[in-house]
Amino acid sequence: MDPELFLDFANTVKGIHMFPYFDIAHYALSCIHVRDDMTSSVQLISRKHPLACWISSMVSCFAGYIIANFLLGEMVLAPFKNLDNVGLATLVWYLIFYSPFDVVYKMCKMLPVKATLSVMKEIQRVHKVYHGVEHAALLYPHAYLVQVIIGTVKGAGAGFTKIFERFIRGTWTPTGHEFLQPTFPTKACLAASVLFVVEAETEWITAPHSMVYLGVVIFFVYFKLSGLVLHMNDPFQPIENLFCAVFMGGVWDALSRAVQVSREKAAEKAANGEVDKKNK
Amino acid sequence: MDPELFLDFANTVKGIHMFPYFDIAHYALSCIHVRDDMTSSVQLISRKHPLACWISSMVSCFAGYIIANFLLGEMVLAPFKNLDNVGLATLVWYLIFYSPFDVVYKMCKMLPVKATLSVMKEIQRVHKVYHGVEHAALLYPHAYLVQVIIGTVKGAGAGFTKIFERFIRGTWTPTGHEFLQPTFPTKACLAASVLFVVEAETEWITAPHSMVYLGVVIFFVYFKLSGLVLHMNDPFQPIENLFCAVFMGGVWDALSRAVQVSREKAAEKAANGEVDKKNK
Amino acid sequence: MDPELFLDFANTVKGIHMFPYFDIAHYALSCIHVRDDMTSSVQLISRKHPLACWISSMVSCFAGYIIANFLLGEMVLAPFKNLDNVGLATLVWYLIFYSPFDVVYKMCKMLPVKATLSVMKEIQRVHKVYHGVEHAALLYPHAYLVQVIIGTVKGAGAGFTKIFERFIRGTWTPTGHEFLQPTFPTKACLAASVLFVVEAETEWITAPHSMVYLGVVIFFVYFKLSGLVLHMNDPFQPIENLFCAVFMGGVWDALSRAVQVSREKAAEKAANGEVDKKNK
């Protein structure tokens, strides 16, 4: 492939407008996620408590924006300023929950449709991570940690608001949150944020910016599709296990166990020796 | 009645100063609400944990202000900047909880006193809704949804902070909140906010502003008194039921149930036919 | 002792730089506090969920800063802007949780080391209270209550975030918070904040400022060491009990109980009298 053509393609991917098609894909998957999260109570909540259903869906759709604004001390309600976005999200929410004979929901759950929506959502996710990092960098130029955090929550916000969404729907599950078991999107957004911060602040990455962006998009799409089609596991798991074993006490714990065992054995031997001596 | 006199009256109602009498009514009813919400543990909490009692009462008194500021990314502590208001609220709280022989509390629970306080509180509520909408419109001129939300939480804030107040007093009830079962004041404040936004942004309402304001006040006072004296039910209920039946899936659910039933019958008939044929 | 020398000493105490040694003491005690709070699950959380462990430790280390910023409507993430502080806190966290054979943790729990760290932490606490009050006074010159609240949460923030830290680690304890049972540091920070506000706003305290500051430091250190070495109880308890008895209904409750008892006795007597009359 001609490298110039490839660069053009990368620039095109980076310049895609999110509104409305990619946003629709994101809203649809967010609402489906909320609906699937209700399991048995979906009829009850969507029919009897439409307000709670709508609010929890909106929180899920705009999760990244809301949390990032909260953390930056900006206006939490900001996503609701733009009526185009909220209107579109409300329309998608309505179709997912209340379409006649559930056609829209059933259609979206079909694999080809779901895969297409997922690919679009991942492209939008990278867009959000990148602009999150950029926005934070503009506000706090040398606060790299803040930039990484904002990039991560912008991309994977729905994971962090899950408990709050459930709370709005009347379910309280204080133990099922992202910090204890970060999901793959959260980890991927963290990695992407770190990459974007490193790219912006250091000279280590010499590739053109749009190529880096395209690489991140391909990474997100590839692992999303692997997960969807092949039910692949989290690719970060082995790295994490290694990291935990080396740095998070794994090695030292093993060593201290070994020391303890050897001491116990020595004590046992000594005791046996005592007994042997006595028996003599 | 002379229309000019009526307009004068409307202007007078709109221009009433809230501080101190209307604020006192609001604080008294808020503190009584907090106290009634404690049910059996009122002696325990007010005597053993006065700090928790005071904080939860203050949160209830300034609920609308606190939530609106939180949502707008402003200072959550803002109501505590004005020592006059906080001092007055503290005085009212003290009298409600600690007056000798509970005279103040018992007096406030008498119907004529309670009705008077309630009427004053409703007038103050409309004042808060209107100024909430106006404040949000000043900050975000075309964000109608934000204006409606701010108006609603300013008027019916105590409903939204209820869970938090209980949490401060050591009780955790994650399922009893406004989104699942909006109370009448919340719905009324929502309707009033929508009305004020429509009035400010469109040309649809041609009546003078103070007349609209007076109409809202009368609506609030009327339904409050009906609820208090006649134990009338929520007047929004029929509209909601109709809306849910038409838009929130009621009709389609009925239709799909009907289709399913007719299909089952057809299947049964076919099976019977089969059996009949076999029997022949 | 020469008064001039004493004043010099007071000025020295007031001018101590917190970074890095006093901050290290604070981070170490905060992380130890988080670790001790996990009790039996420390192995599980620190080894299996290092992210949750790190976040809850960071929240504990920067608790005052985070809550104060939240209450003032400023950026919640602000403590993470300064990479020096976060890096130092992370290093201390790592040593406390993952040092080989737990040497660092065990060393810090030894009484002389713990006492030294505690003294340093108390000096740092007074510094935080004072600068919290000063910061709030700069933003809101006449909002004395806001100044007191900010001073208190800056000094005793970890008490207020305890529930949130536990939540991050997957434990939800909605009843164990500061408002119900304020701990000694919270009360002491409240008293110190009031003192600093009174000093700044009135002419009642004529002593030089650094002497007042030194007095507060001595008060904090003295009671911390008494608690640590002599297991002394909370010195505010008697004052509180008196205050509750006089102002928080204690006297009136006793009086109304007395009235009730005397009435019951009178009723009994009357009843006995009736019986006596009948028997005659």
**Confidence at residue B23, expressed as pLDDT on a 0 to 100 scale:** 94
In sequence order, the 6+-apart residues with CB closer than 8 A to the CB of B262 are none
Q: What is the pLDDT of residues B129-160, one digit of tens each?
A: 999 999 999 999 999 999 999 999 999 999 88
Report the mean per-residue pLDDT for chain B.
Answer: 89
B23-56 burial, b at 16+ Cβ within 10 Å, e below that, comes to: bbbbbbbbbbebbebbeeebeebbbebbbbbbeb
Task: Give, to the nearest 10 degrees, the angle between helix B83-98 and helix B21-38.
Answer: 50
* Per-residue pLDDT reduced to its tens digit, C61-117: 999 999 999 999 999 999 999 999 999 999 999 999 998 888 999 999 999 999 999
pLDDT at B1 over 70: no
Average pLDDT rounded to a whole number, residues A157-168: 90
Q: Which residues contact A260 (CB under 8 A, 6 or more apart)?
A: none
Is the link from the previous residue into C20 a cis peptide, with omega within 30 of 0? Answer: yes
First to last CA, chain C: 87
Q: What is the pLDDT of residue C275?
A: 66
Q: A144-158, A186-200, A213-227, B5-19: which has the minimum mean pLDDT?
A: B5-19
**Cβ–Cβ contact B52 with C under 8 A:** yes
Average pLDDT along chain C: 89
pLDDT in tens, C112-141: 999 999 999 999 999 999 999 999 999 999
Does the beta-carbon distance from C244 to B100 stay under 8 Å?
no
Q: Which of A13, A10, A62, A61 is nearest to A35 (CA)?
A: A61
Return the pLDDT at C280: 60
Residue C126 contacts residue C144 (beta carbons within 8 Å) = no
Cβ-contact A202, A159 below 8 angstroms: no
pTM listed for this prediction: 0.91
> Cα–chain-centroid distance for residue C179?
11
Its ipTM equals 0.89
Cα B63 to chain centroid distance, Å, stands at 11
Predicted local confidence at residue A278, as pLDDT: 67
Q: C99 to each of A256, A260, B141, how far by Cα in Å?
A: 11, 17, 56
- Report the percentage of chain B scoring pLDDT > 90: 51
Which element (helix H / strand E) includes A85? helix A83-98
Is B160 an 8 Å CB contact of chain A?
no
Q: What is the pLDDT of residue A169?
A: 87
Confidence of residue C240 (pLDDT cuts 50, 70, 90): confident
Who's near A191: CB < 8 A, 6+ residues apart? A236
Please determine, for residue A210, whether its predicted confidence score (pLDDT) is greater than 80: yes
Tell whether the model's pLDDT for residue B247 goes beyond 70: yes
d(CA A66, CA A77): 7
**A153-157, A259-263, B253-257: which range is least confident on average?**
B253-257
Q: Please check whether residue B79 is in contact with residue B62, taking contact to mean a CB–CB distance below 8 angstroms.
A: yes
Question: Is residue C40 classed as helix, strand or coil in its secondary structure?
Answer: helix
State whether C180 and B167 contact (CB < 8 Å): no
pLDDT given for residue B231 in this prediction: 80
Closest-CA residue of chain C to A69: C75
Q: How far is C80 from chain A (nearest CA, A)?
A: 6
Q: What is the DSSP string of C219-258?
A: HHHHHHHIIIII----TTHHHHHHHHHHHSSHHHHHHHHH
Helices within B80-143 (DSSP H only) = 83-98, 103-109, 111-139
**C254 has a chain B CB within 8 A of its CB:** no
Residue C265 has pLDDT above 70, yes or no: yes
Do residues A60 and A165 touch, judged by C-beta distance below 8 A?
Answer: yes
CB-based contact, B49 to chain C, within 8 Å: yes
Give pLDDT tens digits for A33-67: 999 988 777 777 888 888 999 999 999 999 999 99
Is the model more confident about C39 or about A163?
A: A163
Rounded distance between C-alpha atoms, residue B56 and residue B161, angstroms? 9
* Integer CA distances (angstroms), C114 to A22, C28, C85, C156, in order: 56, 10, 21, 19
Put simply, whether B47 touches C (Cβ < 8 Å) is yes
pLDDT tens digits for range B158-192: 988 998 998 888 888 887 677 888 888 999 999 99
Q: Which residues of A touch C100 (CB under 8 A)?
A: 252, 255-256
Identify whether the C-beta of residue A121 lies closer than 8 Å to the C-beta of residue A57.
no
pLDDT per position as a tens digit, C157-214? 998 899 899 889 888 888 767 788 888 899 999 999 999 999 998 888 888 899 999 9
Among A55, A83, A77, CA closest to A65: A77
Does the pLDDT value for residue C277 go beyond 70?
A: no
User: B64: closest CA among B127, B138, B139, B144?
Assistant: B127
- Cβ within 8 Å, pair C51-A179: yes
Give pLDDT, residue B277. 67
Rounded distance, CA A76 to CA A163, Å?
17
Dihedral (C-alpha) B18, B19, B22, B27: value to the nearest 10 degrees?
Answer: 120
Q: Is the pLDDT of residue A23 over 90?
A: yes
- Taking the CA atoms of residue A18, residue A22, residue A24 and residue A30 in that order, the dihedral angle to the nearest 10 degrees is -110
Q: Which residues, 6 or more positions from B145, have their beta carbon under 8 angstroms from its beta carbon?
A: A80, A81, A83, A86
The predicted-structure confidence for B209-232, as pLDDT tens digits, reads as follows 999 999 999 999 999 999 888 887
| Per-residue model confidence as pLDDT tens digits over B52-104 | 999 999 999 999 999 999 999 999 999 999 999 999 999 999 999 998 888 99
Q: Give CA angle at A222 (A217, A225), nearest 5°.
A: 125
Assigned token pair, C225: 């060491």
CB contacts of B100 in chain C (<8 Å) are 252, 255-256
Cβ atoms of B106 and B8 within 8 Å: the answer is no
For C7-23, write each residue's pLDDT tens digit.
888 888 888 888 889 99
Instruction: Tell me whether residues B80 and C146 touch, CB distance under 8 A.
Output: yes
Asked whether the bond before A20 is cis by omega within 30 degrees of 0, the reply is yes
Residue contact B180–A170, C-beta within 8 A: yes
d(CA C130, CA C126): 6
Q: Contact A140/C81, CB-based, under 8 Å?
A: yes
Q: Which residues of C201-223 are buried (b: 16+ CB within 10 A; e: fewer)?
A: eeeeeeeeebbbbbebbebbbeb
Say yes or no: B14 contacts chain C, CB-CB below 8 A: no
Distance from CA of C53 to the nearest CA of A (A): 9
Chain A residue numbers touching C97 (CB-CB < 8 A)? 249
> Between residues 81 and 140 of chain B, which touch chain A (CB distance below 8 Å)?
140
**Residue of B273 and A157 predicted with greater confidence:** A157
Percent of chain B with pLDDT over 70: 97
Per-residue pLDDT, A273: 75
Residue entry with tokens 């909408």: B133
If one counts every other C-beta atom within 10 angstroms of the C-beta of residue B19, the result is 12
What CA–CA distance (Å, rounded) separates B238 from B254? 19
Instruction: Please count the residue pairs, one from chain A and one from chain C, whose beta carbons lie less than 8 angstroms apart.
Output: 73
pLDDT score for C278: 66
